[in-house]
């Protein structure tokens, strides 16, 4: 069964032993039999999202199976819209990403709404990091307001994943990306019951987590194989319009430097 990692990082936390280069991502994910990955720039979390997008675009070139999220920053809506105009939907960028670190106190800010209004013309998915019940509620409000866009709740609300499942169940333009340290018993099976397997995505968060940690949640879950297939690759292929390579990822070259890591990031493994 192929695997698409719908949420990994280009760039590693400063305290990590990892580099966060595309080649390292390909190597580690390839060893875990992952066929394709969508990367988000770690630099995008520091506020220098334009430089982060630029470096990620260069790093993705020549790496089949590697796509990217275009980072935006609600504090700079005009600059974010210009980034979308320059890069979104081309050069490997398959979706938007709002990092939690640059979102401000609340996700449903006027700056982010201005960005989403501009995003309506692209009809590409929007990945939003969610780390609390308040984050989940904000994304639900945005999904109601921008009902033609599809919102992916990155991290599935983390410790508030049960709230995320309940809140997203009736809101059909939302999906849950399952990667986080929260590995509660029956988490994946409960999510399948709550929102169906068609609205769940595998994301490793590598190098902050190890792919096998999150893969284990899916493989050990008491769900049917067809649901596992949906979570591990089919949903991502359909949502992001990806063709799944037949072979797992493998390093192409060592020519691309890693993205500078954001300060104050959580530790990787």
Determine the 3-state secondary structure of 188 from DSSP: helix
The torsion angles phi and psi of 40, rounded to 5 degrees, stand at -120, 145
Vertex 231 angle, CA 230 and 232, to 5°: 95
pLDDT class for 16, splitting at 50, 70, 90? confident
The domains of the chain are located at 4-240
Q: What percent of the chain has pLDDT over 70?
A: 93
pLDDT tens across 137-153, in order? 999 999 999 999 999 99
The two most distant CA atoms of the chain are separated, in Å, by: 46
- The mean-pLDDT minimum among 52-56, 93-97, 103-107, 108-112 falls in 103-107
pLDDT at 102: 81
Exposed (0-12), middle (13-18) or buried (19+): which is 55, by Cβ within 10 Å? buried
Contact 39, 11 (CB under 8 A): no
pLDDT class for 256, splitting at 50, 70, 90? very low
Separation CA 78–CA 111 (nearest Å):
9
Contact 116, 138 (CB under 8 A): no
User: Is the per-residue pLDDT at 261 higher than 70?
Assistant: no
pLDDT tens across 218-250, in order? 999 999 999 999 999 999 999 999 999 999 999
pLDDT at 267: 37
User: Is the per-residue pLDDT at 106 higher than 80?
Assistant: yes
pLDDT class for 19, splitting at 50, 70, 90? confident
User: Is the per-residue pLDDT at 259 higher than 90?
Assistant: no
Mean pLDDT of 68-87: 96
Average pLDDT, the chain: 92
Mean pLDDT of 168-191: 95
Name the residue with tokens 């760039």.
11
Give the number of C-alpha atoms closer than 13 A to the C-alpha of residue 1, restricted to the C-beta side. Answer: 15
The domain defined by 4-240 folds into TIM Barrel (3.20.20)
């Amino acid at each position: 069964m192929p695997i698409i990692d719908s949420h990994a990082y280009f760039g590693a936390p400063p305290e990590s032993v990892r580099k966060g280069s595309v080649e390292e991502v390909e190597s580690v994910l390839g060893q875990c039999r992952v066929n394709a990955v969508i990367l988000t720039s770690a630099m995008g979390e520091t506020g220098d999202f334009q430089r982060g997008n630029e470096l990620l675009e260069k790093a993705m070139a020549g790496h089949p199976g590697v796509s990217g999220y275009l980072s935006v920053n609600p504090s700079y809506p005009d600059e974010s819209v210009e980034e979308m105009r320059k890069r979104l939907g081309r050069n490997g960028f398959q979706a938007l990403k709002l990092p939690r670190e640059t979102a401000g106190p609340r996700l449903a800010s006027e700056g982010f709404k201005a960005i989403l209004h501009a995003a309506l013309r692209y009809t590409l998915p929007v990945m939003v990091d969610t780390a609390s019940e308040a984050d989940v509620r904000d994304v639900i409000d945005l999904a109601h307001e921008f009902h033609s866009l599809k919102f992916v709740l990155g991290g599935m609300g983390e410790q508030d994943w049960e709230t995320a499942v309940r809140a997203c169940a009736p809101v059909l333009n939302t999906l849950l990306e399952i990667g986080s340290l929260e590995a509660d018993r029956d988490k994946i099976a409960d999510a399948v019951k709550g929102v169906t397997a068609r609205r769940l995505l595998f994301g490793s968060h590598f190098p902050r987590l190890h792919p096998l940690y999150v893969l284990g949640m899916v493989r050990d879950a008491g769900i049917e194989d067809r649901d596992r297939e949906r979570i591990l690759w089919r949903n991502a292929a359909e949502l992001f319009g990806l063709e799944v390579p037949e072979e797992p990822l493998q390093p192409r070259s060592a020519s691309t430097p890693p993205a500078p890591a954001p300060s104050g990031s959580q530790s990787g493994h």
